[in-house]
Amino acid sequence: MNRMNKASVFSAVLIMLMLGLTSGPCAYAATEAQPAASTALHAGQSSEAVMQQFAGDVEVSAERRIETERKHQILFLMGVSLLILLFFTGGFGVAMVVFEKDVFIPHMIFAGLSLTLGAAHAATAIAWFWPY
C-alpha cells in the first residue's frame, strides 16, 4: 500500500472507532424517551441523595486515612520532581536555541512530563486541602 492508502485506511478505522464509542449501549440508554413526570421525580430524589452525601461527615476507615503531614510530604516530593523536570525542559530548550543542539524530542518529552506532573500536583493539592 502506498502512503495515501495507509493514511485513508487509518483515518477510516479511527472514525469508525470514535463512532462506535459514542453510539454504544450507554449512549442509546441516555437517549431513550421517558415520561416527564417520572424523570422529574427521579431527578429530585437523586439530587437530594447526592446533597446528603456531601452534607454529612463521612468517616474514612483507618486504612484509607492519610495524615496531613504525609500529604505534605507527598506534595513536597511531587513539587521537587516537578522542579527537576522543569529544569531539564528549560535546559534542553536553551541547548536547542543557544547551542543549536538537536534535542527537540527530549525537550518535548520532558515538557509533557512536566505538564502531566503539574496537573497531578494541582489536582492533588486541591482535593486534599480545599477549602484549607
How far, in Å, CA of 75 to CA of 58, rounded?
A: 24
Q: Please answer whether residues 1 and 9 qualify as being in contact, where contact means their C-beta atoms are separated by less than 8 angstroms.
A: yes
pLDDT in the model for residue 54: 67
Distance between CA 31 and CA 49 in Å, rounded?
23
Q: Whole-model pTM?
A: 0.53
pLDDT in tens, 59-89: 767 777 889 999 999 999 999 999 999 999 9
C-alpha span between 63 and 83 (Å, rounded): 31
CA distance 126 to 121: 9
Q: Are 82 and 121 in contact (CB under 8 A)?
A: yes
Q: What is the mean pLDDT of the chain?
A: 78
List of the chain residues with pLDDT < 70: 1-45, 51-58, 60, 132
116-123 long-range contacts, CB within 8 A, separation 24+: 117/78, 117/81, 117/82, 117/85, 118/82, 120/78, 121/75, 121/78, 121/79, 121/82
Q: Identify the pLDDT of residue 59.
A: 72
pLDDT at position 77: 97
Sequence ranges of the domains in the chain: 68-129
According to the model, what pLDDT value does residue 27 have?
46
